[in-house]
Amino acid sequence: MRDLPIQPQRPFGYFVHHQGRGHAERCAAIVNALPRSRPVTVFCADPKVLGPMPANVTVQAIPSLFERTGAERDMDQLQTPNTLHCAPVGWPGIRQAMGRIAGWFASDDPALMICDVSAEIAQLSRICSVPHVAVLQHGDRSDPGHRAAYDGAAGILAPFSAGLAQDDWAPFRHKMHFAAGLGVSGDLPDRQAARAALGLEPGRRMALVLSGGGGTGFTAAPLGVAARAFPDWQWISIGKLQGDWHATQGANLHHKGWVDDVATHVAAADLVISSTGNTTCAQVLGAGLPWIVVPEWRYFDEQLCKAQALAKAGAAQHLPHLPSSAHAWRAAVDRALTDHDAAAQGRLLAPDPAKATAAWLETLSEGLWGTTLTLETTG
């Protein structure tokens, strides 16, 4: 018996949705944890969201699958089948994007295609005889399109703890890998140093309102009500915010918009009120703070289902919307402070999710393709 040399590794493909930040952050964490011998080709409509990539990674820009360019010929009279979500007919950009991916399948013979996220590209991979890994997000994804992507997947990557799993995922739990905190650094600054960096008064409590980048953010008026209800607190909002002409804002409320030091703000806070995007949730869980979650609108009720899962796990208080009165704010904040369970939050974290995910992907690929050929010899 003799072992033939291992052939050059088949590449991994990776589709990265460019809405929000979580998809790109997960991609960066995974490709940096993969072996440098593993080639990776990343497809994204906005490569700027990806940041620097290691030398074994090639980035291919593709047209957006949902943004108009003016060249579309709308054919809205054609019904969209239940197996598809965003597949309008007559869009040249979609044809070009799918053509480039399918062409790469044919030319590079990939080992895996990681889809974060697109049920259509997941199904395209399966149709082209390429095993795919579907990234799973919360929400009501019981429709035929999502189920086809999950049923046809070689593996399903869930970038959060198994403690946040939905009951309806039971049919495919056997091929899921949970990666709590994937894409988010778990390191937070020292609390006192963070407070000093933000110029907070010693002993004064700070409430942080945090919304992500995938939508339009919270509206301003309820935050003015909150700040007036807690005049001895400092209130700070970061992320997107919708203005209200009727909003009144006191001196203890500061809207900062986008900031580069989110971790500093989280570390300095005494209470967090946030939406439930994946990156936001991982950051707050790492801080172990009293937490109120208010889901923003997302397709398939993604943030709503994530908020419900967090509440069920004892990690956060879920509110359907920001409180609309001072007494409602006082009740919500008092409950968040009283019911805070840092241990429950800690159980939803993992020590090195990127390394574990990279190992899972390599093991999955090896199980599908093998890495070494063993031949019988005579003489």
Q: What is the CATH number of the domain that holds 363?
A: 3.40.50.2000
Report DSSP state, residue 300: G
- Domain co-membership, 161 together with 12: yes
- Cα angle 137, 166, 368 (rounded to 5 degrees) comes to 60
- Domain co-membership, 217 together with 289: yes
What is the side-by-side order of every strand in the sheet holding 317-318?
253-257, 234-238, 206-210, 271-274, 291-293, 317-318
Q: Which residues, 6+ apart, have CB-to-CB distance to 8 below 8 Å?
A: none
Q: How many C-beta atoms lie closer than 10 Å to residue 112's C-beta? A: 25
DSSP string, 34-61: S-TTS-EEEEES-GGGT----TTEEEEE
166-184 pLDDT, tens digit per residue, is: 999 999 999 999 999 999 8
pLDDT at 312 over 70: yes
- Domain co-membership, 149 together with 266: no
14-66 pLDDT, tens digit per residue, is: 999 987 788 999 999 999 999 999 999 999 999 999 989 999 999 999 999 98
pLDDT at 137 over 50: yes
- Could you tell me if 238 and 258 are in contact, meaning their C-beta atoms sit under 8 angstroms apart? yes
pLDDT at 372 over 50: no
CA distances from 98 to 19, 91, 93, 172 (A): 18, 11, 9, 27
Residue with tokens 């820009």: 61
- Domain co-membership, 210 together with 164: no
- Domain co-membership, 26 together with 163: yes
Residue with tokens 């974290």: 349
Q: What are phi and psi of 156, to 5 degrees?
A: -130, 125
Mean pLDDT for the chain?
Answer: 93
Q: For residues 313 and 276, give the distance between their C-alpha atoms in angstroms, rounded to a whole number.
A: 14
Q: What is the 3-state secondary structure (H, E, C) of 336-353?
A: HHHHCCHHHHHCCCCCCH
Burial of 240 per CB tally in 10 Å (0-12, 13-18, 19+):
middle
- Domain co-membership, 19 together with 162: yes
- Domain co-membership, 178 together with 278: no
- Domain co-membership, 103 together with 63: yes
Q: How many C-beta atoms lie closer than 10 Å to residue 131's C-beta? A: 18
Dihedral sign, Cα of residue 35, residue 41, residue 44, residue 45:
positive
- Domain co-membership, 63 together with 207: no
Q: What are phi and psi of 285, to 5 degrees?
A: -60, -35
- Domain co-membership, 226 together with 155: no
Q: For residues 235 and 268, give the distance between their C-alpha atoms in angstroms, rounded to a whole number.
A: 12
- Domain co-membership, 277 together with 333: yes
Domain residue limits at 274: 191-346
213-241 pLDDT, tens digit per residue, is: 767 789 999 999 999 999 999 999 999 88
- Domain co-membership, 197 together with 336: yes
Q: For residues 252 and 235, give the distance between their C-alpha atoms in angstroms, rounded to a whole number.
A: 6
pLDDT at 2: 46
Least confident of 14-28, 282-296, 335-349: 14-28
- Cα angle 179, 180, 185 (rounded to 5 degrees) comes to 110
pLDDT at 3 over 60: no
Per the structure, how many domains does the chain have?
Answer: 2
pLDDT at 371: 61
- The amino acid present at 355, given as its one-letter code, is K
pLDDT at 245: 75
